[in-house]
């Protein structure tokens, strides 16, 4: 039977995804019809982005699964009309590798103090040698696929690594903490903090004034995870007092970041426009096709969202 697959991720993305999806679905040996418009009652699978015009899933009576193109699913997990399995995008070839490169680059930037040499208008000659990575404490909050991949790279560089997750984890080269009691231990004395948690009710504002106070004085905060993880007023206050030496932020509560937002003007903040990790159509298409192939063969879906956990 021919599978009807609806691309419901926005017409602006169809041009990027059409060819890679056709190739991946064909390579997976699937008999399919892929389109941006289909009668709802005839759709078997939906390739989806939460900003799609499809917000009511009720008419899709034959729908078997929704395959999200984004790693973040917080905008769709609570939709009461979505009752079929939902998967999130975990793409080691594209999304994960992109995050590893961005995080590693900015961790090294802060570890080596590169900003002082890149922008040095006073031509200051200050041969201040940074410590080796073994003497630099880096903490990662969030040890899912992205956090684990970043930890593995930073461990290879021999950083003194700590990490925290809601449930226990074991990652070679990293001291892993879990649960509410482990969060304080993971934050204590961290010189560089990387946020890679999902956006859930439990993680919102997790980096508040109390958490920031546990960091080493002058610590760097790097957030490529989710904007609501940070209590913005607390971070700005910590930057002003020097408790936080610099914040490199890629994600925000409101995007694009408003032009009058204080983060833009703060001298100790680097704003990047949500570029830390982006879904790459060729590799993402292969993940989508493999999940449809697995589901059709009766195998479990990869990266299925736990609705109770929110990711």
- CA distances 93 to 273, 283, 285, Å, are 22, 6, 11
DSSP string, 53-115: S----TT-TT--EEEESSS--TTTTT-TT--S-EE----IIIIIHHHHHHHHHHHHHHHHTTH
Q: Is 214 a known active-site residue? A: no
Q: Which of 106, 110, 204, 226 is catalytic?
A: 226
SS3 257: coil
Name residue, tokens 């930037």. Answer: 109
State how far the Cα of 138 lies from the Cα of 193, in Å rounded to an integer. 6
Write down how long the chain is: 311
Q: Is 226 a known active-site residue? A: yes
Q: Which of 253, 266, 274, 307 is catalytic?
A: 274
Calculated CA dihedral for residues 110, 155, 224, 119, nearest 10 degrees: 20
Pick the closest to residue 191 from 171, 161, 169 (CA basis): 161
Q: Which residues are catalytic?
A: 226, 274
């Amino acid at each position: 039977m021919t599978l009807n697959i609806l691309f419901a991720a926005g017409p602006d993305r169809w041009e990027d995804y059409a060819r890679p999806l056709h190739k991946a679905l064909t390579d997976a040996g699937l008999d399919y019809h892929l389109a941006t418009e289909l009668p709802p009652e005839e759709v078997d699978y939906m390739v989806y982005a939460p900003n799609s015009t499809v917000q009511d899933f009720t008419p899709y009576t034959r729908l078997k699964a929704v395959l999200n193109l984004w790693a973040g699913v917080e905008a769709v997990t609570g939709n009461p009309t979505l009752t079929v399995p939902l998967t999130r995008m975990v793409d080691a070839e594209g999304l994960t590798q992109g995050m590893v490169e961005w995080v590693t680059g900015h961790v090294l930037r802060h570890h080596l103090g590169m900003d002082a040499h890149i922008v040095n208008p006073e031509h200051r000659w200050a041969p201040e040698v940074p410590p080796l990575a073994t003497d630099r404490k880096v903490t990662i909050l969030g040890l899912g696929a992205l956090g684990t991949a970043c930890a593995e790279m930073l461990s290879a560089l021999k950083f003194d690594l700590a990490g925290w997750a809601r449930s226990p984890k074991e990652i070679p080269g990293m001291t892993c903490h879990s649960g509410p009691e482990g969060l304080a231990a993971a934050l204590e004395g961290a010189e560089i903090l990387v946020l890679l948690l999902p956006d859930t009710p439990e993680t919102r504002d997790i980096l508040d004034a109390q958490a920031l106070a546990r960091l080493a004085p002058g610590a760097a905060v790097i957030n490529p995870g989710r904007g609501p993880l940070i209590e913005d007023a607390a971070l700005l206050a910590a930057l002003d007092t020097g408790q936080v030496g610099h914040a490199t932020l890629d994600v925000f509560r409101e995007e694009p970041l408003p032009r009058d937002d204080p983060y833009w003007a703060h001298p100790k903040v680097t704003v990047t426009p949500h570029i830390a990790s982006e879904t790459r159509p060729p590799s993402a298409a292969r993940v989508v096709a493999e999940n449809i192939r697995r589901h059709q063969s009766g195998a479990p879906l990869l990266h299925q969202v736990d609705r109770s956990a929110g990711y």
